[in-house]
Amino acid sequence: MTSPPTEALDASATESSPGRRRHRRPRRAARKGVIVAAVGAVGLAALGAGYVVLGRQGGLAVAADDGGRKAAAPVSTPHRAGAPAGPDALGVRNDGPLAISGIGPKTRAAIPANSTQVLVASGKGKNSSDTVVTLWTRTGDGHWHAGVSWPAHNALHGWTVTHHAGDLRSPIGVFTLHDAGGFDADPGSKLPYHQSSGFQAGGVGFDGEPLDDAFDYVIAIDYNRVAGTSPLDGTQPLGPSRGGGIWVHVDHGGPTHGCVSVSAAHMVELLRTLSPADHPVIVMGDSTSLAD
């Protein structure tokens, strides 16, 4: 196995005692059953997607760069955004906006024409670790529809377009989402899923919160990594100084090192929704930057 990425898995190295191994709490299995059962009761529509990268470096297309204790949050059924209008013959509303709300022309231009599934992580501020995550879906007539917005976290010091290892900021940009994995078994992911005990988290976060469940489920964000590999693959095409291991993972109740985190139930919902056939992407950054 290759060495783990520096950003995501270094949480256990920097925030836990040396050599500490993940342990499981007795209530874990029961809690996991409740979460999986709750998610299983929610019907998810088949969603399309697309992906894009910003800029090129050394001939490699790369995105504009910068760099959870599991919450048994209720699973929210995505709703359709738009003006009041009836559904079409298939029950799909065709009344949403023609552009994703809060995304400005510069960011919007980076999303390819065939992208019909976009996960937007819009940060509260440039230096804030609070984020709102929303999955947007485009229907065949070109209208966008927003799912329910979920509270989330990003890096401790906020956001940057020039992410470097250890800056404790999340990268701003549009990034592809190809691969998933986690400590726990595959909950029904449409993305290729790599289960491994290598997804270790331990110790406490920046606010003293336990990190035990943070990497139960992860989705690799294709910043400074090779798409099509396990999230644990530590290959960094831009070099180690540019950081890596930027994931969407289970929220532990506080800021991250560079990742975006949502509740365990919402992670399962994403894994069961994002489809490689639709080329999903994440658009991430503070709200002001995304509005450019």
- What pLDDT is stored for residue 95 in this prediction? 67
Residue 267: φ, ψ to 5° = -60, -45
Contact between residue 194 and residue 206 where contact means Cβ atoms under 8 Å apart: no
> What is the C-alpha separation between 248 and 273, in angstroms, rounded?
14
Residue 79 burial (CB count, 10 A): 11
How confident is the model over 200-207, as a mean pLDDT?
92
- What pLDDT is stored for residue 116 in this prediction? 86
How far lies 5's CA from each of 58, 141, 198, 226, 236, in Å? 21, 40, 11, 11, 8
Instruction: Give the closest residue to 120 by CA, choosing from 99, 142, 140, 136.
Output: 136
Q: Where are the domains of the chain?
A: 10-41+48-75+97-290
Q: Is the pLDDT of residue 278 over 90?
A: no
Dihedral sign from CA coordinates of 252, 255, 256, 262: positive
- Which residues are CB-neighbours of 209 under 8 A, at least 6 positions away? 69, 252, 253, 254
How confident is the model over 43-50, as a mean pLDDT?
30
Q: Which of residues 135 and 63 earns the better pLDDT score?
A: 135
How confident is the model over 101-118, as a mean pLDDT?
89
> What is the C-alpha separation between 177 and 145, in angstroms, rounded?
20
How confident is the model over 60-84, as a mean pLDDT?
35
> What is the C-alpha separation between 169 and 152, in angstroms, rounded?
15
How far lies 137's CA from each of 7, 67, 120, 165, 226, in Å? 29, 26, 11, 33, 26
The rounded mean pLDDT for the chain is: 76
Q: What is the pTM of this model?
A: 0.72
Q: Is the pLDDT of residue 30 over 50?
A: no
Q: Which of residues 161 and 5 earns the better pLDDT score?
A: 161
- What pLDDT is stored for residue 152 in this prediction? 98
> What is the C-alpha separation between 183 and 216, in angstroms, rounded?
5
Position 209 confidence tier, pLDDT thresholds 50, 70, 90: very high
Percentage, residues of the chain above pLDDT 70: 67
Q: Which of residues 197 and 19 earns the better pLDDT score?
A: 197
DSSP letters for 71-104 = P-PPPPPP---SSS----TTS----S-SS-TT--
